[in-house]
Structure formats: C-alpha cells, structure tokens
Amino acid sequence: MKALVLTAYKQLEIQDVPVPEPGAGEILVRVKACGICGSDVHGFDGSTGRRRPPIIMGHEASGVVAKTGEGVTQFRPGDRVTFDSTIYCGRCEFCRQGRVNLCDNRRVLGVSCAEYRRDGAFAEYVVVPEHIAYRLPDSVSFEQAALIEPLSVALHAVDRGDLRLGETVLVIGGGMIGSLIVQLVKVAGASDIVVLEPDPFRQELVRRAGATAVFSPHESWREELSKGTGGKRITLVFDAVGIDETVRSAVENVEKGGRVVLVGNLAPQTTLLLQAVVTRELTLLGSCASQGDYPRCLDLLARGVVTVDPLISAVAPLEEGPYWFDQLYQRKQPLLKVILRP
C-alpha cells in the first residue's frame, strides 16, 4: 500500500509498505480522508519529540472497513467509520471510571515516542481496535468525519469549563480548536464570545463561527471590549494555544473566581502567575484529548449544530502530502485544515 512516511525530520516520502493485518478485536480500515493536525506539523520538525522517524503520522481520519479480525462483532466490511486517536485499554482504573483519555496504557495513532510507536492513517490502510471506532451517519462525509477528532477535543474542553448560561467567554487562539470551541460555547449559551487572534485569516473564521468580538492580542482590546459589552466580566477562558504569553493572558484577563481551561500545549513548560492564581482564587483546568465524546460529536455534525466545512482549506491526494506539510510548516499561505485522501 502507499503511505506517507516521515523518514527523517522535515522529510516525508511516499513509500510502498505492507498492508497491516488486523489482529483479534481489530479492524482494517481503508482510509478515505485524513486531516493534517497541528501536532503533526510540529512533529514534522521534531520539536515535540513525539514523531520519531520512521513513522506514518495521521490520526484525524475516516474510511471504510475492509477487513475484521477475530472476535469483532460491531463492524463488518463496507461500514463507513471514523475512529478515536486515543487507543485505551479499557481495563485500568481510569478506563473503568470512563476517563479513557487518562488511560494508564494510552497510545495515540501516528505517534512515535520513547514509550511506544503506532503507525497512523496517512496511508491507504490503517488498523485500529474495534472499541475506538464509530459508524458514520449517512449525512456525514468522509472529509467532515476527519474533523470529528479535533471537534471531540474542543467538546471535552468545553465540558471541562462547565459553562454557565449567559457567561462571557474568552478564547485565546483562533485555529482549529479555538474555532470549534467558539461554535460549541455559542450553542451552550455563552452571551459574549471574545477571541484573541493575531492572524486576519483566522480572525474572519472565528467571526463566521460566532464570535461576538475579535481582537489582536497586541491591541488595547480590553477597553474596546468594555465599550461593546457594557463592562461585562470574563469568567471563563480557553487557551487553545499553550505558550507562555497565552497562559499569562488567560490568567490576567479572567475575573476573580473565574476558570481557565488549558487545552493548547505548544510549549512543554510555561510560567505560572502563582500569586494571581492564588489571591484571585482562580481555577485552572487541564484538558487532554477527549473522553468518549465521538457519539455526541457525530450527532452535532449530523444535525448541523456544528459546521466544519468552512474550516477545511484544501483536500488533496496523499501523494501531495509533502507539499502541503511544507505549506503548513512554512505558513506560505492562509490555511487551517488540509485533508489528504489516499
């Protein structure tokens, strides 16, 4: 089969590799669409340490069941499916609590790190466990289904924030996750949704997603916001970036007693404004991946409550993968989600 292989950092090649064989409890999926995640782009240059070559990356995908392994009962060849990026064991204490994203034996598709290596879906076929796969509604296309994974990340973050009706919400970062959070908090009943995003292309996307106010973080945006909202206070912040500057901004701009959800993690370490957190009694909430949220996400997409088509910048053949990775890495043109089709 054809696969897009990271052979060395900043080097991708289309190679012929063996078709994987599904084991007991696994299904072989003929991949129809796979999105390039921001984490793939950061793994492309080795900066995350979680894409060690050689590896087939890709975890935002959908396709058709081609073959089933021994003991599979939920799927049969021909079923249209998507699948979680997190492979969880279902047996450890966290899995038994339903907190599968914290599984003690957690593996992630398309990731190669010190602990494990698992090839992903930038290939014609991929093998996944039956228990992380979900059947697609007829109304959801393969390209749309490839965005279920980031949608589930955004939904889990919103759940962690415990949004209250009528709150004013700040979202830092207008990329894929930030744009989806905007849609979700709007549906959940936020009164005002403020976004900090410096890029004009992404600013327009979050406006279309439902943001009521969009500012560059370098502007004196608080004064302008106060005029537009009558002085409403920001009580919930989502940091969808995760660098020192954005974590600081999240803490500085939330109201006393407010909540800050940290979902972006571009930097492994940031400075914590400890005194501000303690004396203003803030609640900091980490949000990792998703927690069995795929059925809810598929329902939101099938009913049109959430739309992802405006977030898809390009759909291209797998063979063009090296070109599109370079475009995303170099930021040579305004792009958000690029989907590759094997």
Q: CA distances (Å), 202 to each of 128, 199, 215, 242, in order?
A: 33, 5, 11, 17
Give yes or no: residues 41 and 59 share one domain.
yes
Let me know if residue 6 belongs to a domain: yes
The pLDDT of 140-146, averaged and rounded, is 97
Angle between helices 148-161 and 294-302 (to 10 degrees): 110
Give yes or no: residues 85 and 100 share one domain.
yes
Give yes or no: residues 65 and 183 share one domain.
no
Q: pLDDT grade, residue 209 (50/70/90)?
A: very high
Residue 253: per-residue pLDDT: 93
CA distance 143 to 284: 34
Task: Quote the tokens at residue 45.
Answer: 């240059």
Give yes or no: residues 77 and 8 share one domain.
yes
Give yes or no: residues 174 and 282 share one domain.
yes
Residue 156: per-residue pLDDT: 98
CA distance 40 to 258: 33
pLDDT tens figures, 49-79:
789 999 999 999 999 999 999 999 999 999 9
Give yes or no: residues 168 and 272 share one domain.
yes
Domain count, the chain: 2
Let me know if residue 301 belongs to a domain: no
CA distance 80 to 66: 10
Let me know if residue 299 belongs to a domain: no
The pLDDT of 78-102, averaged and rounded, is 96
CA distance 340 to 328: 13
Residue 50: per-residue pLDDT: 86
Give yes or no: residues 250 and 218 share one domain.
yes
Give yes or no: residues 12 and 129 share one domain.
yes
Let me know if residue 294 belongs to a domain: no
pTM: 0.94
Give yes or no: residues 266 and 326 share one domain.
no
Residue 301: per-residue pLDDT: 96
CATH number at residue 231: 3.40.50.720
CA distance 256 to 281: 6
Let me know if residue 163 belongs to a domain: yes
The pLDDT of 12-39, averaged and rounded, is 97
Q: Domain span at residue 312?
A: 2-147+308-341
Give yes or no: residues 183 and 104 share one domain.
no
Residue 227: per-residue pLDDT: 62
Give yes or no: residues 60 and 128 share one domain.
yes
Q: What percentage of the chain reaches a pLDDT higher than 90?
A: 88
Give yes or no: residues 69 and 104 share one domain.
yes
Task: Please give the full DSSP string across 160-178, using - where no structure is assigned.
Answer: HHT--TT-EEEEE--SHHH
Task: Quote the tokens at residue 146.
Answer: 């490839």
Let me know if residue 228 belongs to a domain: yes
